[in-house]
Copies of this chain bind each other. A is one copy, B any other.
Amino acid sequence: MQPTTLTHAARPRPPQRRSRVSPEQIADAALKIVDRDGVTALTMRRVAAAIDVGTMTLYGHFRSKEQLLDAVVDAAVGRGKLPALTGSWRDQVRALMRAANRNLAAHPALVQIRFAQPVLRPEALRFGEAGMGILRSAGFNSREAAHGFRLLFTYVFGFAGLSPTATLDDARREAAAAIAGLPAEEYPNLAENSAEFSEAIGGGAAFNYGLERILDGLESHLKARAT
Contacts and interface: CB of A to CB of B under 8 A. Distances in A.
Contacts of A218: 213, 217
A209 B221 CA distance: 10
Contact of A213 (B187, B212, B214): B214
A200 B146 contact: yes
A41 B115 CA distance: 16
Q: How many copies does the complex hold?
A: 2
Interface in A114-166: 114-116, 118, 120-122, 125-126, 128-129, 132-133, 136, 142-151, 153-155, 157-159, 161-162, 164
Interface stretch (A29-37, A72-80, A174-182): A174-182
Interface string A90-122: 000000000000000000000110111010111
A52 interface: no
B155 A200 contact: no
Interface residues of A, number: 67
B150 A190 contact: no
Interface in A168-207: 171, 174-175, 178-179, 182, 186-190, 192-193, 195-197, 199-201, 205-206
